[in-house]
Amino acid sequence: MHIRVLGSAAGGGYPQWNCNHPNSRRARAGEPAATQRTQSSIAVSADGVRWLLCNASPDLRQQINDNPVLQPVAAGPLRASPLAAVLLTNADVDHVTGLLTLRESQAFTLYATPRVLEVLAMNSIFNVLNPAFVARRPMPLDSPWQPVASDGALLGLTITAFAVPGKVALWLEDATRPVDIGALTQDTIALEIGGLEPGRRFFYIPACARMTPALAARLQGAALVFFDGTLWVDDEMIQAGVGLKTGQRMGHLSVAGAGGSMALLADLAIQRKVFIHINTTNPILLDDSPERAAVISAGWEVAYDGMQLVL
Ligand code: MLT
Ligand code: MN
């Protein structure tokens, strides 16, 4: 199984367009220790030819240009794409707006929970995905299924999608009601992905509001876990003076501290742990920060765009 990180930053990317935080300034200046990152997405392939896109980032066009395996092959038809299917783990802007890049009557299968499909259906701009070519399919939760290309051919992957503590997409929040954070609904989904045969599998969890005993049990002994690395500490955006929200309010468990993901995943015997969906304020973005050194010495890696893993 081939895994490629297309985008490792959280919503907004790194640097974010309006961010003047020192992290963003260093990235914008092209400092080698502050590598720019596009918004959250990975691609997975069993055969290295047909790919499943997990989340469609607003930066998808750039990500395809940066990753030749996602481009039409030279000997192929005049309109073609190795992207055979797209799967959404939530309806956040950083995960769905790349669908608009995938217009132009190209066939692929689109998978999401019924809840996220309903939200797409309510937004007629997504009708740019011609239904004659793009089949929208509800994905089951908690039981394994096999994604197919638009012609029905198996992609050679088995997926178990399951809800993790989260919340509705930011743009779906209702200002007149308290937001239910940490709810186990169809709004925030994690993926366990393996090949067709039982064997090595990995987890992709770009958003998670808290650890639960059930989630810890699932992750126990995994070969590879991509986990929500949005913030270093919960009040980081407040401390930095760039926002009013905590990580908790945004539906993201922070990395550091006794209640953070580094500590909570430490004893789960996971072979490879990678932070992804990293916010522009998070010091682990910087190769030369003490926080980066701390995550590395705790056995974690920090995802970067173009990172390739084989499982
Ligand atoms: C998040 O992960 O918290 C969202 O991407 C927020 C947003 O939509 O900007
Ligand atoms: Mn996000």
Q: Per-residue pLDDT for 112 more than 90?
A: yes
Rounded Cα distance, 111 and 239, in Å: 38
- Nearest ligand to the CA of 92 is 1
Q: What is the pLDDT of residues 172-230, one digit of tens each?
A: 999 999 999 998 999 999 999 999 888 889 999 999 999 999 999 999 999 999 999 99
Average pLDDT score, the chain: 97
pTM (whole model) above 0.95: yes
Is the Cβ atom of 168 under 6 angstroms away from ligand 1?
no
Mean pLDDT, residues 68-72: 98
> What pLDDT shows up at residue 199?
85
Q: What is the pLDDT of residues 85-111, one digit of tens each?
A: 999 999 999 999 999 999 999 999 999
SS3 115: helix
Q: Residue 215 is encoded by which pair of tokens? A: 């989630």
> What pLDDT shows up at residue 197?
85
List of domains in the chain? 2-310 (3.60.15.10)
Task: Please name which of 110, 111, 94 lies closest in space to residue 102, comparing C-alpha atoms.
Answer: 110
Q: Per-residue pLDDT for 263 more than 90?
A: yes
Is the Cβ atom of 91 under 6 angstroms away from ligand 1?
no
> What pLDDT shows up at residue 36?
98
CB 95 within 8 A of CB 56: yes
> What pLDDT shows up at residue 198?
83
Q: What is the atom index within ligand 1 of the atom nearest the CA of 252? A: 3
Mean pLDDT, residues 224-248: 97
Q: What is the pLDDT of residues 14-37, one digit of tens each?
A: 999 999 999 999 999 999 999 999
Q: Which residues crowd ion ligand 2, with CB under 5 Å?
A: 11, 92, 94
Q: Per-residue pLDDT for 121 more than 90?
A: yes
Is the Cβ atom of 99 under 6 angstroms away from ligand 1?
no
Q: What is the pLDDT of residues 146-175, one digit of tens each?
A: 999 999 999 999 999 999 999 999 999 999
Is the Cβ atom of 234 under 6 angstroms away from ligand 1?
no
* Contacts of the segment 155-158: beta carbons below 8 A, 24+ positions apart: 155/45, 155/46, 155/50, 155/52, 155/84, 155/85, 156/46, 156/47, 156/195, 156/196, 157/1, 157/44, 157/46, 157/52, 157/193, 157/194, 157/195, 157/196, 158/193, 158/194, 158/195, 158/196, 158/201
